[in-house]
Structure 1
Amino acid sequence: MAEIVGAFALSHAAVMVRHWEQATAADQAAVRGAFDEIARRLRAARADALLIVGNDHYRSFFLDQMPAFCLGIGDTSIGCGDGGFPPHALPVASQLADGLLEGLLARQFDLAFAHNLPLDHAFIGPMHNLFGGAGLPIVPLFQNCVAPPLPPLARYLALGAAIAEVLAQIEPGLRVALLGTGGLSHEVPLPDWRRLPQDAEGEHWLRFMTAGRSGADAKTLERIGAEVDRWGRERRGRIDETFDRELLAWMQAGDYARFADLDAETLRRRGGNGAQEVRNWVTVMGAVPGTRAELLVYAPVPAWLTGVAAVEFR
Structure 2
Amino acid sequence: MSIVYAAAASHAPGMRAWPKQATEHQLEKILVGWDKLRQGLEAAKPDVLVMLTSEHWANFFLDNMGAFCIGRGEHFTGPVEPWLGIDKATIPGDPEFATEILNACYANGFEPGFSHEIALDHGTMVPLSYLTPDMKTRVVPIFFNTLATPRPTPARCVALGEVLGPVLRESDRKIGVVATGGLSHDPGERNHGFIDSDFDAKFLDAMTKGDLDALSRYADADFFAAGGGTPELLAWLTLAGVMAGQGSDTVCYEAVVPWATGIGMVNYSKAA
Query: What amino acid is aligned across from residue 89 of structure 1 in structure 2?
Result: T
Partner of 1:108: 109
Partner of 2:246: 291
Asked if the contact 1:59–1:80 (Cα under 8 Å) also holds between the matched residues in 2, the reply is no
Partner of 1:20: 19
Partner of 1:309: 264
Report the 3-state secondary structure (helix = DSSP H, G, I; strand = E; otherwise coil) of the residue aligned with 1:297.
strand
Q: Deviations over 1:107-160 (max 9, x none)?
A: 121010000321111011110122225141110000011122212111100111
Write out aligned runs for 1:131-280 (5 A): 131-132=132-133, 134-169=135-170, 171-172=171-172, 174-189=173-188, 236-269=192-225, 271-280=226-235
CA pair 164-88 structure 1, distance change in 2 beyond 3 A:
same
Aligned counterparts of 1:260 and 1:160: Cα–Cα separation in 2: 11
Asked if the contact 1:77–1:89 (Cα under 8 Å) also holds between the matched residues in 2, the reply is yes
Asked if the contact 2:19–2:27 (Cα under 8 Å) also holds between the matched residues in 1, the reply is yes
Query: What amino acid is aligned across from residue 141 of structure 1 in structure 2?
Result: I
Q: Deviations over 1:255-311 (max 9, x none)?
A: 122111111112101x10111111111111100114112010000000110000011
Deviating runs (4+, > 6 A) in structure 1? none
CA pair 168-18 structure 1, distance change in 2 beyond 3 A:
closer
Aligned counterparts of 2:189 and 2:157: Cα–Cα separation in 1: 23
Query: What amino acid is aligned across from residue 165 of structure 2 in structure 1?
Result: A
Percent sequence identity is 31
Query: What amino acid is aligned across from residue 60 of structure 1 in structure 2?
Result: N
Under a length normalisation based on structure 2, what TM-score does the superposition of the two structures give?
Answer: 0.93
Report the 3-state secondary structure (helix = DSSP H, G, I; strand = E; otherwise coil) of the residue aligned with 1:81.
coil
Aligned counterparts of 2:252 and 2:88: Cα–Cα separation in 1: 28
Partner of 1:51: 50
Report the 3-state secondary structure (helix = DSSP H, G, I; strand = E; otherwise coil) of the residue aligned with 1:61.
coil
Asked if the contact 1:237–1:306 (Cα under 8 Å) also holds between the matched residues in 2, the reply is yes
Asked if the contact 1:124–1:133 (Cα under 8 Å) also holds between the matched residues in 2, the reply is no
What is the CA-CA distance between 1:45 and the residue it aligns to?
Answer: 1.2
Aligned residues: 267
CA pair 266-65 structure 1, distance change in 2 beyond 3 A:
same
Write out aligned runs for 1:75-86 (5 A): 75-82=74-81, 84=84, 85-86=86-87
What is the CA-CA distance between 1:96 and the residue it aligns to?
Answer: 1.1
Report the 3-state secondary structure (helix = DSSP H, G, I; strand = E; otherwise coil) of the residue aligned with 1:259.
helix
Partner of 2:130: 129
Partner of 1:211: none
Aligned counterparts of 1:144 and 1:15: Cα–Cα separation in 2: 22
Q: Deviations over 1:230-269 (max 9, x none)?
A: x9xxxx4110111100111111222122111111112101
Aligned counterparts of 2:240 and 2:169: Cα–Cα separation in 1: 16
Asked if the contact 1:252–1:295 (Cα under 8 Å) also holds between the matched residues in 2, the reply is yes
Q: Deviations over 1:153-179 (max 9, x none)?
A: 11100111101122344x32x110100
Query: What amino acid is aligned across from residue 156 of structure 1 in structure 2?
Result: C
Asked if the contact 2:146–2:231 (Cα under 8 Å) also holds between the matched residues in 1, the reply is yes
Under a length normalisation based on structure 1, what TM-score does the superposition of the two structures give?
Answer: 0.81
Higher helix share: 1
Partner of 1:62: 61
Matched, 1:9 2:2: no
Report the 3-state secondary structure (helix = DSSP H, G, I; strand = E; otherwise coil) of the residue aligned with 2:229.
helix
Asked if the contact 1:53–1:142 (Cα under 8 Å) also holds between the matched residues in 2, the reply is yes
What is the CA-CA distance between 1:14 and the residue it aligns to?
Answer: 1.5
Report the 3-state secondary structure (helix = DSSP H, G, I; strand = E; otherwise coil) of the residue aligned with 1:119.
coil
